[in-house]
Amino acid sequence: MQKPLRILTVVDLPWEARLGASRVFIELAEAWRAAGHVVTKYCLTDAYPTRAWSPFVSAWRQLGFPSKAAAFVRKNHDRFDVIDCLLGTLPFSKERLDFTGLLVARSVGFYRLYQDFERMAQERWPDQPRGKLLGRIFYSVIRKRAFKASESALENCDLLNFPNEDEAKCLRDEVNSDKPAIVQPYGLTTQHRRALLEAAAPPTVRLAEKKVSFIGMWGIRKGAKDWGEVIQRVRAAVPGTRFVFLGTLTDDRNVFRDLGLPGGDFIQLVQQYHPDELPKLLSDSTVGAFPSYAEGFGLAVLEQLAAGIPPVAYDVPGPRSMLQEHLSELLVPTGDVEKFAAALIRMLRSDLAAYEKLAEQSVETANHFDWSAIAEDTARSYETHLARWHNELATHG
């Protein structure tokens, strides 16, 4: 590194590690600082310090966030070499931002692929609660504005940063864009990987527990409509199986409503937890489950891998990039509930030798995704593109 980069990170969410997109920026910023770079952040609570009193206010704030972020950049434009922003949060030209450094738009789940999922979900589950007419109109406007902002940000940035190859392919094949792009996965800190592994019970204990764990916010995209059938199929084959859902961020009644099952001692719900509590919460899990239909990366899958817990997942971008090389047997066709349940049953019925091998492969796989190394690779790529941009600027004026 010739000199430290001065990096501004921009995300239209609170700076809160329980939120997936924010967590990516938080942990990446920490890794960059540890490497000697100077990192500044601008997030939703920087733009709006007071607490939003309703979901409508929160939505309006996200809609107004790009203008606030742009004003911050114009005021501080000479303080940064690189702006690494969540795609859609700075949908303006660099001339309007008065910024001459490298403008990077980072995807944490490509909006085009997520829109494809939303269309599919409306067709597959047409009985979803639609809410009141005014609310439907309001959120329809919000979605359209967000899509437009993402398209504009894609056009105006210098470089796109994707977490998986599928999103980069979508950029070329579906968007027909030749915008420069890099693919950088997400990772875990060395400390977090160590804590997850050290807290894990021995394989003999975990295999005997017959416990399936899911990490993530409860919602249709994360498989909420599939879980009821999954639980019934698994428990019919392995009656003593228990299920734990970690970080649902919703009322327990909403979960049981979607499951279509009465509450029971075989289902444990944890609405919120501090990140430091996760190693203990996962310690006796036998197998992970991640039936997500659309995902940028899937830190939940990576955390289970690091804990030595083989995670069964739908074969979608993100989980695919972690599992396809050495643990492809854990990938299931997207939306195939029968095969998903069958994969969980197979793991729960594993003999000890096979289970120990899978647990070892899981840990080895997680070790390839280290935030320090990823941050270093990303910074090096930014330095290269920044130098190229400055050369073009000097040549063409």
Considering the segment(s) 190-366 as one domain, its CATH architecture is 3-Layer(aba) Sandwich (3.40)
Superfamily of structural domain 6-187+370-396? Glycogen Phosphorylase B; (3.40.50.2000)
Q: What is residue 122's predicted lDDT score, i.e. its pLDDT?
A: 86
Would you state the pLDDT for residue 32? 98
Helices (H) and strands (E) in the chain, counts: 17, 12
Q: For the residues of 167-231, what is the DSSP string, one character each?
A: HHHHHHHTS-----EEE----B-HHHHHHHHHHPPPHHHHHHH-EEEEES--SGGGTTTTHHHHH
Task: Give yes or no for a contact between 309 and 359, defined as CB atoms under 8 angstroms apart.
Answer: yes
Whole-number pLDDT of residue 262: 76
Whether the CB-CB separation of 45 and 56 falls below 8 Å is answered with no
* Whole-angstrom distance, CA of residue 103 vs CA of residue 107: 13
Give the per-residue pLDDT at 52. 81
pLDDT given at position 347: 96
> Taking a C-beta distance cutoff of 8 angstroms, is the pair 285, 211 a contact?
yes
Domains 6-187+370-396 and 190-366 share a fold: yes
Alpha-carbon distance 371 to 348, whole Å? 31
Map out the domains of the chain as residue ranges: 6-187+370-396, 190-366
* 8 Å CB contact between 51 and 45: no
SS3 370: strand
- What single-letter DSSP state applies at residue 26? H
276, exposed or middle or buried, with CB in 10 Å at 0-12, 13-18, 19+? exposed
Per-residue pLDDT of the chain (397 residues; tens, 9 = 90+): 468 999 999 999 999 988 889 999 999 999 999 999 999 999 999 999 998 888 778 888 888 999 999 999 999 999 999 999 999 999 999 999 999 999 999 999 888 888 888 889 888 888 776 666 666 665 677 778 888 889 999 999 999 999 999 999 999 998 899 999 999 999 999 999 999 999 999 999 999 999 999 999 999 999 999 999 999 999 999 999 999 999 999 999 999 999 998 778 899 999 999 889 999 999 999 999 999 999 999 999 999 999 999 999 999 999 999 999 999 999 999 999 999 999 999 999 999 999 999 999 999 999 999 999 999 999 999 999 999 877 776 676 5
Q: How far apart are CA 215 and CA 298, in angstroms?
A: 10
Query: What are 183's strand-pairing partners?
Result: 162
d(CA 227, CA 351): 25
Residue 315, both tokens: 């074969």
Structure tokens at 232: 């019934």
pLDDT at 225: 95
Q: Which helix (H) or strand (E) element contains residue 291?
A: none
Q: Give me the pLDDT at residue 2, please.
A: 65
Whole-angstrom distance between the N-terminal and C-terminal Cα of the chain? 27
pTM recorded for the entire structure: 0.92
Both tokens assigned to 29: 């910023």
Cβ burial, residue 198 (10 Å; 0-12/13-18/19+): exposed
Which residues, at least 6 apart from 354, have a Cβ–Cβ distance to it below 8 Å? none
Structure tokens at 53: 């009193």
Structure confidence at residue 392 (pLDDT)? 73
CB 306 within 8 A of CB 371: no
